[in-house]
Structure 1
Amino acid sequence: MTIIGETVLPGQSKTINMEIARLHTMTKLKIPIIVERSRLEGPVVLFSAGLHGDEINGIEVVRQIITRKINKPKRGTIICIPVVNIFGFVNKSREFPDGRDLNRVFPGSKNGSLASRFAWHILKEIIPHVDYCVDFHAGGASRFNAPQIRIAPGNAELEHLSDVFNAPFTLYSKNISGSFRSACGKLGVKILLFEGGKSLDINEDITREGVQGAKRILAHLDMLNPKKTAHEAEKPPVRITSSTWIRARNSGLFQNKTAAGKYVQKGEVLAHITDPFGKFDKKVHAPYSGYIINSNDAAIVYQGDAIFHISQRVV
C-alpha cells in the first residue's frame, strides 16, 4: 500500500504526513494519516473526522480509537485521519481559509482553490485504497445532534452496516452534491456518516457511542483486535425515513426544555422564547409526535432559526 509516496507493508505501522499548503506565515501544516496494517489480508477501513475543523467530538472519537489501540487490526488495514481540515481546526472554524466548506467541494481539483486541492488529494491518494469508511461529524451553530448514522436511502448494504454500528438513530438522507460521502459512494466505498454532539464541544456519551460503533464495525468485518471487545447494543437503532426542522417564530432568549434524543408527544412544550424585558413568553410546541434528533443549545435565537429537528416517519 502506497500513500503519498510512502509504502506501508503488511505488519507495519506508519504515520504519513500529508503536506499540501502552508499558513500565510510560511508555517507548515501537516495532516497525519495513521496507518496500521496486519500481516493478514483483509479489508481497508478508514476512520476520519474533522472535515469541519470545529467539530471536535468526532476528532475525539478517532483519537480514542488510536490511543486505545482499537486501530490495530486482527486482519486487513485501518487508516485513521483524526483531523482532515487542519486549517479549520487551528482556527476553530468550520471552513477552510479560502472561506469554502471542504464538504461541498469534492471531488475537487488539482489546480483549484485550497479546499478543492485538499479534496482532490484525499480522493486521489487515500480513498482508492479504502473499502469501508466511517466519517465522524457533529452539529454546527450550537445545535446538538443525537448520536445517529446517516445513509442514503435504498442501499441495503449500508442499512445492514448501520444496524451493525448501532447508533441510537439511523437517518435516511440523500447524498449532498460535493460532499465527501457522495464522492466516496461514487468510488464504491461503503461509507457511514456519524453525527453526534455539537461544534467546539466534547461529550462523553457521544464519544462512547462513536467508539463502540467503530468497534462493532471492525468486529463484523473480523478485524477487531482480539484484545478488544465490542459490546452489543441494548436495542436496534430507530430508523427515521422522514424528518423536518422546527423553526423559531420569534426572536428572543431561548429557554430550551428538550434534549436531543427524546421522544415527544404532539402539542408538548419543547421550549420557551422570551424577550429580555419580561414582555412576552412564547411557547414552542411539538407539531406532532416524534424523536428530537437535534436540539438547539443557543441562548439567543432569531425568527426563522432552526431550533429542533424532529422525526416525521419512523420504520
Structure 2
Amino acid sequence: MTTKKKPASSGKEKKKASKPKAAKRADFHIGSDTIKAGTRKIIDLPISALPNRLQMNLPVHVFHGRRDGPTMFVSAAVHGDEIIGVEVIRRLAQRPALKQLKGTLLLVPVVNGYGFLNHSRYLPDRRDLNRCFPGSEKGSLASRLANVFLNQIVKVCDYGIDLHSAALHRDNLPQIRITKNDDAILELARVFNAPAILHSNLREGSLRKHAAELNVPVLLYEAGEALRFDEKAVRTGLSGILRVMQHIGMIRVDKIPKKRTDPTVFIKSTWLRAPTGGLLRLFKGLGETVEKGERIGVVSDLLGEMDIDVVSTRTGMIVGRTNLPIVNGGDALVHIARASLEESELSSAEALGDDEDSENLFYEDEII
C-alpha cells in the first residue's frame, strides 16, 4: 500500500491570521428593562394611574446597536397637540439604516400622552410640560413626567433632537432654534439643514435649558401647525435627523436627500401685528421674502367698507404666520426673520443676537 506524499510547501502560502473578536457591547439598561446589543425593544416607563385605573406610561423605542457610538434621543409631543414629530419618529423607526446602528437611539414619539389623547398642548392640570423641568418625583403630574423624562432619557444621552410645531392656528416654516454662543450646536443645526436657523433664548423650566445644564446638546425643530400633518415638514425633519446621525457617526445612509441650499442663519426676528380687528387676507406665505414698507396683506371689516393695509416693518423672510382669518387688533400675524448681511456674521453662533424690539420666540408660540 502506497501513501501519497503531501506536496512540499512552496513557502508562498500564508496562514490566514485570525481576526480578534470585538468585545461584546454591554447591555443597555433603562427603567427595569435590559436591551442587549444588536436588538431593539419597546419599553414603557410608568408615570401615573388614570382615574379609571389604567396606567399612563412613557413609551420608548430603544435601538441598541452592536457597535459603540453616541447615545441620542429623539422626542415629540412634549406639547400634546404638536403631532408633526410623532409621524417623523414613526418613519425614522422604519429606516433600514438603523439595522447597522452604532450607539444607542431612544425614540420617544409621545412625551405628553395626556395632551396627545385630548388633542391639547397641556396636561390635565393645564400645566405646560416644557415649563416644568427638571421636575420632581413628588411634585405635580407635569413635574413627575418631566422628572422621569429628564432622568431616564436625557441624562443617559450625548445628543437630543426635540420635535415641535407652531401653536394652534399658527404655521411655522421648518426651522431649527438654537442658543447663541454655542458653535457646536450651530454646526449640528447646519448639518440638519432646515431652511432656517433662529436664535431662541433658553427659558426657565424648559427641556433645552436643563439638558444644557447636563451638557446634552439639544436641537429644537419647529415646523408646521398643531394637530396637522404637513408632508414637507415631516420629510424635512426626517432627513435632518438622519443627517445629524450620519454626522456624529451613528449610521451610514446613502438615501438622504442631498442638500439643495444651505440653511440661513437669522440674527433678528419680530412679529408683525394686526393694525385693527377684522378679516385678514395675507398675500405672502412661509419662506417668502418681504421688503420693509411692502404691503403684505389687508384687514377688512365685515361689511367691506374699510380696508387697512398690513405693511411690513422689516426686510426679511416669513418664518411663521397665523392661519386664522379672524383677527383682533394686536394679534400676531406674521413672524419676520432677518438674516445677517455679512458672511463673517454667519460664521459663529456668537453673531446671533436679539433685536431691541424682538420678542422671545417662545412667547408667540405659547397659548396663555
With over 3 angstroms needed to count, the CA separation of the structure-2 counterparts of 1:104 and 1:229, relative to structure 1, is same
- For residues 1-315 of structure 1, the aligned pairs below 5 Å read 1-226=28-253, 228-314=254-340, 315=346
Paired AA for residue 264 in structure 1: V
More off after superposition, 73-82 vs 109-118 = 73-82
Answer yes or no: is the 8 Å Cα contact 2:73–2:153 preserved in 1: no
Answer yes or no: is the 8 Å Cα contact 2:264–2:339 preserved in 1: no
Report the CA distance between 1:129 and its aligned residue: 1.3
Answer yes or no: is the 8 Å Cα contact 2:79–2:120 preserved in 1: yes
SS of the aligned residue for 1:43 comes to: strand
Answer yes or no: is the 8 Å Cα contact 2:75–2:107 preserved in 1: yes
Distance 2:98 2:82 in 1: 21
With over 3 angstroms needed to count, the CA separation of the structure-2 counterparts of 1:187 and 1:73, relative to structure 1, is farther
SS of the aligned residue for 2:143 comes to: helix
Report the CA distance between 1:99 and its aligned residue: 0.6
Distance 2:248 2:235 in 1: 20
SS of the aligned residue for 1:106 comes to: coil
Distance 1:215 1:205 in 2: 16
For residues 67-114 of structure 1, the C-alpha deviation after alignment (integer angstroms, 9 at most, x for no partner) is 334544531111100110010000000000011000011001111110
Which one has a bigger Cα radius of gyration? 2
For residues 237-278 of structure 1, the C-alpha deviation after alignment (integer angstroms, 9 at most, x for no partner) is 100111111111211112122211111112222222112222
Answer yes or no: is the 8 Å Cα contact 1:108–1:119 preserved in 2: yes
Give the 4+ runs in structure 1 shifted more than 2 A.
22-31, 67-74, 228-232, 312-315
With over 3 angstroms needed to count, the CA separation of the structure-2 counterparts of 1:138 and 1:19, relative to structure 1, is same
Report the CA distance between 1:7 and its aligned residue: 1.4
More off after superposition, 245-254 vs 20-29 = 20-29
Report the CA distance between 1:224 and its aligned residue: 1.8
Answer yes or no: is the 8 Å Cα contact 2:172–2:319 preserved in 1: yes
Paired AA for residue 125 in structure 2: D
With over 3 angstroms needed to count, the CA separation of the structure-2 counterparts of 1:95 and 1:147, relative to structure 1, is same
Answer yes or no: is the 8 Å Cα contact 1:152–1:172 preserved in 2: yes
Distance 1:307 1:238 in 2: 22
With over 3 angstroms needed to count, the CA separation of the structure-2 counterparts of 1:70 and 1:274, relative to structure 1, is farther
For residues 122-159 of structure 1, the C-alpha deviation after alignment (integer angstroms, 9 at most, x for no partner) is 11111121111110000003111100000000101001
For residues 151-203 of structure 1, the C-alpha deviation after alignment (integer angstroms, 9 at most, x for no partner) is 00010100111111111000011111111111111111111000000101110
Q: RMSD of aligned C-alpha atoms? A: 1.4
Answer yes or no: is the 8 Å Cα contact 1:105–1:119 preserved in 2: yes
Report the CA distance between 1:30 and its aligned residue: 2.7
Distance 1:29 1:124 in 2: 18
Paired AA for residue 65 in structure 1: L
Distance 1:300 1:142 in 2: 11
Distance 2:204 2:214 in 1: 14
Paired AA for residue 274 in structure 1: S
Distance 1:30 1:286 in 2: 47
Answer yes or no: is the 8 Å Cα contact 1:215–1:229 preserved in 2: no
Gaps of 5+ in 2: 1-27, 341-345, 347-368
Gaps of 5+ in 1: none
SS of the aligned residue for 2:267 comes to: strand
Paired AA for residue 270 in structure 2: T
